[in-house]
């Protein structure tokens, strides 16, 4: 593969990126976003386009016509429920919704890969460009994998990137093993018996238990011998009763986010948290229910895949930076790395660039060319082993 990334391609993908930024859509609602991407991809002439995979997802297949592995590259389509404060001409036109994680940029990079592959196919095998929805809620990747349409793809290797503010612009950040943390939202409901506020002794309020439960949950990560690596619990919401001064409340809710570097530790963490809830509920005559939301497995990079990423970065002249610990944030690409060899890598957005999820964040177009070049070189290396 010798096709270069032309000025025309870069101008086209930056234009697409700004269109996506102007019209962001939340997780599960990426219909128009997928439509913009489809219109762009159709011009590149892939052998096959799969629509509505895992929801509003879209996959473009570029086939060499020669035997070889199938390499999947993934980008994410969804935006966040954050009001944008930027004032540039392509600012979000959707109130309270904006691209503050850079998914518009990730999508533009993959669109640029499509533009190059449209001019010159991979040397061997296939390259699948997957534009996936619902990453922010941790549901999109799993929906894609479970979709019967995915059987037409079944990759041999999987790769994705994420832009990283705080790191040198265009630098490639990579690590063997765990790269991004597992996480899940835990919702605990405790139900007792309400009574008149004048007679609290006639009821059974969870209010007496909540402080002990919160303290106990926050203390679990300190049980170092129970875990192999880092775990963290953050209380994000607590509610007791309603705004009724004449009522002793009969219901309480605690919400917490559990994080761990390792999937096995998350299993232990979950069991211990659930056991604490049950123990305190039983002791105090309360009913307890637990449910989970936004469940992300850890993203685990295969050693051979990370070596491919390093070689690709070296080949395109990019700086390579290693990290000692995984990132604490989560990425639903972990669903892919649980089942297929692959790697998630970072690309620096600039050391002073606004952080992800900040209301003044905007994806830096200056790193798009590096992202395109990385994926193309990874494909070349993977197909020529």
Domains of the chain: 7-177+300-383 (3.40.630.10), 182-296 (3.30.70.360)
End-to-end CA distance of the chain: 14
pTM for the whole thing?
Answer: 0.93
pLDDT exceeds 50 at position 92: yes
Give the whole-angstrom CA distance, residue 320 versus residue 308: 12
List strand residue ranges (DSSP E) for the chain, in order.
48-53, 57-63, 70-76, 126-132, 157-165, 172-174, 177-180, 182-191, 195-196, 231-240, 247-248, 251-260, 287-296, 299-301, 320-322, 342-350
Q: What residues contact 186, with CB distance under 8 A and at least 6 apart?
A: 255, 256, 257, 258, 270, 273, 290, 292
- Which residue is associated with the tokens 């929801």? 55
- CA dihedral angle for residue 355, residue 356, residue 361, residue 362, rounded to 10 degrees: 120
Give the whole-angstrom CA distance, residue 9 versus residue 366: 14
pLDDT exceeds 90 at position 255: yes
pLDDT exceeds 50 at position 155: yes
| pLDDT tens profile 9-19 | 999 999 999 99
pLDDT exceeds 80 at position 1: no
Mean pLDDT of the chain: 97
How many helices (H) and strands (E) would you count in the chain? Answer: 9, 16
Give the whole-angstrom CA distance, residue 115 versus residue 35: 17
Give pLDDT, residue 321: 97
pLDDT exceeds 70 at position 20: yes
Return the structure tokens found at 47: 């052998």
Give the whole-angstrom CA distance, residue 318 versus residue 65: 31
**Residue 200 contacts residue 248 (beta carbons within 8 Å):** yes
């Amino acid at each position: 593969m010798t096709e270069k990334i032309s000025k025309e391609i870069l101008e086209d993908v930056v234009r697409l990126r700004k269109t996506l930024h102007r019209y962001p859509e939340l997780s599960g609602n990426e219909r128009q976003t997928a439509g913009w991407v489809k219109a762009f991809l159709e011009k590149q002439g892939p052998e096959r386009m799969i629509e509505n995979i895992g929801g509003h997802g879209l996959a473009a297949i570029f086939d060499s016509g020669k035997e070889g592995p199938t390499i999947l590259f993934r980008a994410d389509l969804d935006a966040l429920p954050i009001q944008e404060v930027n004032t540039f001409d392509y600012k979000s036109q959707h109130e309270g919704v904006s691209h503050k994680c850079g998914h518009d940029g990730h999508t533009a990079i993959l669109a640029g890969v499509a533009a190059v592959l449209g001019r010159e196919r991979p040397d061997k095998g296939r390259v699948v460009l997957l534009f996936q929805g619902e990453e922010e809620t941790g549901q999109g990747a799993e929906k894609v994998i479970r979709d019967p349409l995915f059987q037409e793809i079944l990759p041999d290797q999987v790769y994705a990137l994420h832009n990283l503010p705080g790191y040198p612009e265009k630098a490639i950040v990579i690590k063997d093993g765990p790269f991004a943390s597992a996480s899940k939202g835990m919702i605990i409901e405790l139900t007792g018996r309400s009574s008149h506020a004048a007679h609290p002794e006639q009821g059974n309020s969870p209010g007496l238990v909540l402080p002990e439960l919160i303290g106990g949950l926050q203390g679990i990560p300190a049980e170092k011998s129970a875990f192999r690596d880092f775990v963290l619990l953050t209380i994000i919401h607590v509610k007791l009763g309603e705004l009724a001064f004449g009522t002793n409340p009969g219901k309480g809710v605690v919400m917490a986010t559990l994080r761990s570097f390792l999937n096995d530790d998350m299993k232990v963490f979950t069991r211990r948290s659930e056991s604490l809830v049950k123990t305190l509920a039983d002791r105090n005559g309360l009913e307890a229910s637990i449910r989970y939301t936004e469940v992300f497995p850890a993203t685990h990079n295969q050693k051979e895949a990370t070596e491919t990423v390093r070689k690709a970065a070296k080949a395109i002249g990019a700086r390579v930076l290693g990290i000692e610990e995984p990132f604490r944030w989560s990425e639903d690409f972990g669903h892919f790395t649980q089942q297929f060899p692959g790697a998630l890598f970072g690309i620096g957005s600039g050391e002073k660039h606004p952080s992800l999820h900040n209301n003044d964040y905007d994806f830096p177009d200056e790193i798009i060319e590096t992202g395109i070049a990385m994926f193309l070189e990874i494909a070349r290396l993977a197909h020529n082993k």
